[in-house]
Chains A and B, each alone.
Chain A
């Protein structure tokens, strides 16, 4: 393998490895912008991965699988919304419970699906013209549709947040729900909506694993990517563009380990698997230290809203 081909392979698989994290991070970003913390990402991804996989096996259509994953993720989001928005449960507790629940349930549901291949997994399509650009083409434009879809979502989300009235309302309910409410913005229904949308994106991230990057089902196959997504949103300062860059960085570290090993470099494989998590800790430490512990977090993140409470 030539040196250039080696780097292209690493970069291209960085994008693939980063995509499930990107979907989940976007989901977390939307949820948190609405003022709700979601620590259930890992569980939502697993439920998405398993239900997407099952639906794809049963119907033989991966798109139906992907849609099923989003529905399942959305259902998890709905549970989180009922608990945290209506019943005003502690958001951390609800999220952790959802992760435990998702991990257990997905393992149970997926038992008989272990080792079955997907009939039509999402495969790379080279985009006309773009795919032929030297270097950039193979790194960015010869991927499966779900990756292109994730870019569209990043772009749409950025536009939504910065240019539209509904996006402004979303930020308002996360920053100061009391103010939004007094202006007639329906805080409760909007929080429901965005928590569910966030869950759907987390489900999509899980499905990317089981239907595209490693088309199969393995118990606990997200292996902590949901937690990385949670940390990544902080690193991204709740901005979609930065979430994309961050996801690919994490993907790159993931891919680097794999490719180093394949190239015969002798590093412990446990160490390489540890790298993304080490990186997460390092990044969080740096971001926190740089901003003196003060983050641009939505002002009411984590606080349930109660109209008659002061």
Chain B
């Protein structure tokens, strides 16, 4: 490529308390290319692009746009230079409608808001790029895929020439991903530079023209995609060889029944049936995988088991004791642990440090408290040991955990739960948003726990993960477990149909057709 790059970033350095997020990063972006930015979680992908978008100020380095030095003091300056970014966590005002959100980005618009004009523009993007959005829908009602589309339309609407998409596929279904890729190609063909952040190798090879790999804040390589093999990318990404598609791990010996749920029903947040007549049995040393499309009762199941949601009917037996309707603390005391989907919102307290987060469940234990005083020394020692043992990377024991990367948060959370020696642990989407390396360590932790004889209820949307870890797989649909197979008998096609609610076991189908 002999052309002048649209954007050149030279020697960018960005430090956060305790971490160097970007360490002398160089990056060129050309018009018309899809440039993938590949790297593990915490490797600094979002940071380098937030700098280009004017959100973060670099500590060193320079940015050239069209060959001329640019100094971005605020996102405004970057927008004026034609740079647009769809952030990993969407920057949408939830109570506003789609049209209002798009209007927000207009700089020199008229004093009075005009709905007609914006509608026309939105329509234009629909015809040109096939990006359909409903201008009158309030954003909070949209699915993640739709929200992403609104973000993209908004970015195009401002006339951005550099389009940055931060992990856009993490929240999409395979169909939506395919659609997004088509759109990205159209946008590149229209002369934009498209930056595509991801940690999935196959996606890089599917859409990108060039790829830059980041590792630990440094660029470990930039190359043309057609010249490179997946294995090589992995190596650049993690600096060590990881066996892709690891073998299924042999399960330990199953022990006696730990949990038994019968005819359990519960309501969901909007007061409609969330679980209906659910039955489930779990044994010691068993991983029971729950497959299913999100929103079919997985959350309600986890919450009923942890005492966070009321059981309407039915009974839950835990180690032979009826625990129906017990409070979370009673269940914790009996050895039930929970790793929720929302790590930072529910699992950990973002503004507290690692030690305090470790203490959240055990602050009443005599080793950490003298009556009404906390023994911080003991807690620190314990946390330091756990952090070492589970290889959790953090800026410091007394830094708020909110600045940790997703993989390390998950390790810390899991470490806290495991150190309580649970008899039953409910783990929801444990690897969501994690890179290969972190996913691998989380899986290892779960398997170790199983080998120690704990029962694990693993809720996941990733069938590969379920196939790899589970001893039994149950499929949830409409608040019920509609299929329940030992791992050897799982037929992925059947599971897929069950997940969509399209398949029922034969005897039942006879009744089903009668309706």
Q: Which A residues are within 8 Å of any B CB, using their own CB?
A: 163-166, 168-169, 171-172, 175-176, 178-186, 296, 299, 307-308, 310
A-B contacts, 5 listed (Cβ < 8 Å)? A165-B113, A168-B103, A175-B96, A184-B107, A299-B95
B80 proximity list for chain A (CB < 8 A) = 184
Are B103 and A165 in contact (CB-based, < 8 A)? Answer: yes
- Cα-based distance from A181 to B105 in the complex (angstroms): 10
Are A171 and B55 in contact (CB-based, < 8 A)? Answer: no
- Cα-based distance from A304 to B435 in the complex (angstroms): 32
- Cα-based distance from A189 to B236 in the complex (angstroms): 44
Contact of B93 among A166, A176, A296, A307 (CB under 8 A): A176
- Cα-based distance from A184 to B16 in the complex (angstroms): 23
Given known contacts A182-B53, A307-B55, A310-B403, what 17 new A-B pairs fall within 8 Å (CB)? Answer: A164-B112, A164-B113, A168-B103, A168-B104, A171-B93, A172-B93, A180-B104, A181-B74, A181-B75, A183-B154, A184-B74, A184-B75, A184-B76, A184-B107, A185-B104, A186-B74, A299-B93
What secondary structure prevails in chain B residues at the interface with A?
Answer: loop
B100 proximity list for chain A (CB < 8 A) = 168
Would you give the shortest CB distance from B84 to chain A, in whole angstroms?
Answer: 10
B320 within 8 A of A: no
A-B complex: 6 closest residue pairs judged by Cβ atoms: A184-B76, A179-B91, A182-B91, A183-B105, A175-B93, A176-B93
B95 proximity list for chain A (CB < 8 A) = 175, 296, 299
B74 proximity list for chain A (CB < 8 A) = 181, 184, 186
Q: Which B residues are within 8 Å of any A CB, using their own CB?
A: 16, 53, 55-57, 74-76, 79-80, 85, 87, 90-96, 100, 103-107, 109-113, 154, 402-403
B112 proximity list for chain A (CB < 8 A) = 163-165
Are B79 and A184 in contact (CB-based, < 8 A)? Answer: yes
B103 proximity list for chain A (CB < 8 A) = 165, 168
| Tally of contacts, chain A with chain B, CB under 8 A | 77
Query: Quick one: which of A166, A181, A299 has the most chain B CB within 10 A?
Result: A181
Are A165 and B109 in contact (CB-based, < 8 A)? Answer: yes
Contact of A169 among B76, B104, B403 (CB under 8 A): B104
Would you give the shortest CB distance from B357 to chain A, in whole angstroms?
Answer: 17
- Cα-based distance from A164 to B56 in the complex (angstroms): 30
Are A172 and B104 in contact (CB-based, < 8 A)? Answer: yes
Would you give the shortest CB distance from A307 to chain B, in whole angstroms?
Answer: 6
Take A163-B112, A165-B109, A166-B111 as given contacts and tell me if A182 and B55 are in contact as well, using a CB distance cutoff of 8 Å. Answer: yes
B55 proximity list for chain A (CB < 8 A) = 181-182, 307-308
- Cα-based distance from A295 to B154 in the complex (angstroms): 29
Would you give the shortest CB distance from A89 to chain B, in whole angstroms?
Answer: 16
Are A183 and B56 in contact (CB-based, < 8 A)? Answer: no
A184 proximity list for chain B (CB < 8 A) = 74-76, 79-80, 105, 107
Contact of B402 among A175, A179, A310 (CB under 8 A): A310
Residue of A nearest to B403 (CB): A310
- Cα-based distance from A12 to B89 in the complex (angstroms): 52
Query: Quick one: which of A164, A180, A184 has the most chain B CB within 10 A?
Result: A184
Are A182 and B85 in contact (CB-based, < 8 A)? Answer: yes
- Cα-based distance from A296 to B94 in the complex (angstroms): 12
Take A164-B111, A165-B110, A181-B55 as given contacts and tell me if A176 and B92 are in contact as well, using a CB distance cutoff of 8 Å. Answer: yes
A182 proximity list for chain B (CB < 8 A) = 53, 55, 75, 85, 87, 91
Would you give the shortest CB distance from A185 to chain B, in whole angstroms?
Answer: 7
Are B113 and A168 in contact (CB-based, < 8 A)? Answer: yes
B403 proximity list for chain A (CB < 8 A) = 310
B53 proximity list for chain A (CB < 8 A) = 182
- Cα-based distance from A176 to B91 in the complex (angstroms): 8
- Cα-based distance from A180 to B100 in the complex (angstroms): 12
- Cα-based distance from A299 to B85 in the complex (angstroms): 23
Would you give the shortest CB distance from B344 to chain A, in whole angstroms?
Answer: 10
Query: Quick one: which of A168, A178, A179 has the most chain B CB within 10 A?
Result: A179
- Cα-based distance from A180 to B93 in the complex (angstroms): 8
What secondary structure prevails in chain A residues at the interface with B?
Answer: helix
Contact of A176 among B85, B94, B109 (CB under 8 A): B94
Residue of A nearest to B402 (CB): A310
B85 proximity list for chain A (CB < 8 A) = 182
A165 proximity list for chain B (CB < 8 A) = 103, 106, 109-113
Are B76 and A186 in contact (CB-based, < 8 A)? Answer: yes
Would you give the shortest CB distance from B162 to chain A, in whole angstroms?
Answer: 14
Would you give the shortest CB distance from B276 to chain A, in whole angstroms?
Answer: 25
A176 proximity list for chain B (CB < 8 A) = 91-94
A168 proximity list for chain B (CB < 8 A) = 96, 100, 103-104, 113
Residue of A nearest to B90 (CB): A179
- Cα-based distance from A141 to B252 in the complex (angstroms): 85
Would you give the shortest CB distance from A25 to chain B, in whole angstroms?
Answer: 21
Are A183 and B402 in contact (CB-based, < 8 A)? Answer: no
- Cα-based distance from A168 to B53 in the complex (angstroms): 23
Would you give the shortest CB distance from B253 to chain A, in whole angstroms?
Answer: 44
Would you give the shortest CB distance from B408 to chain A, in whole angstroms?
Answer: 14
Residue of B nearest to A166 (CB): B111
Would you give the shortest CB distance from A175 to chain B, in whole angstroms?
Answer: 5
B109 proximity list for chain A (CB < 8 A) = 165
Would you give the shortest CB distance from A294 to chain B, in whole angstroms?
Answer: 12
A181 proximity list for chain B (CB < 8 A) = 55, 74-75
Residue of B nearest to A184 (CB): B76
B79 proximity list for chain A (CB < 8 A) = 183-184
B107 proximity list for chain A (CB < 8 A) = 184
- Cα-based distance from A178 to B103 in the complex (angstroms): 16
- Cα-based distance from A165 to B103 in the complex (angstroms): 8
- Cα-based distance from A163 to B53 in the complex (angstroms): 30
Residue of B nearest to A176 (CB): B93
Would you give the shortest CB distance from B2 to chain A, in whole angstroms?
Answer: 33
A185 proximity list for chain B (CB < 8 A) = 104
Contact of B91 among A169, A178, A307 (CB under 8 A): A178
Are B104 and A299 in contact (CB-based, < 8 A)? Answer: no
- Cα-based distance from A185 to B107 in the complex (angstroms): 8
A169 proximity list for chain B (CB < 8 A) = 104
Would you give the shortest CB distance from A94 to chain B, in whole angstroms?
Answer: 19
- Cα-based distance from A182 to B91 in the complex (angstroms): 7
Are B94 and A175 in contact (CB-based, < 8 A)? Answer: yes
Are B113 and A183 in contact (CB-based, < 8 A)? Answer: no
- Cα-based distance from A185 to B103 in the complex (angstroms): 12
- Cα-based distance from A252 to B103 in the complex (angstroms): 41
- Cα-based distance from A299 to B95 in the complex (angstroms): 9
Would you give the shortest CB distance from A277 to chain B, in whole angstroms?
Answer: 32
Residue of B nearest to A307 (CB): B55
- Cα-based distance from A296 to B93 in the complex (angstroms): 14
Query: Quick one: which of A176, A182, A185 has the most chain B CB within 10 A?
Result: A182
Would you give the shortest CB distance from B46 to chain A, in whole angstroms?
Answer: 9
B110 proximity list for chain A (CB < 8 A) = 165
Are B56 and A179 in contact (CB-based, < 8 A)? Answer: no
- Cα-based distance from A84 to B498 in the complex (angstroms): 54
Query: Quick one: which of A168, A175, A185 has the most chain B CB within 10 A?
Result: A168
Take A183-B105, A184-B105 as given contacts and tell me if A171 and B96 are in contact as well, using a CB distance cutoff of 8 Å. Answer: yes
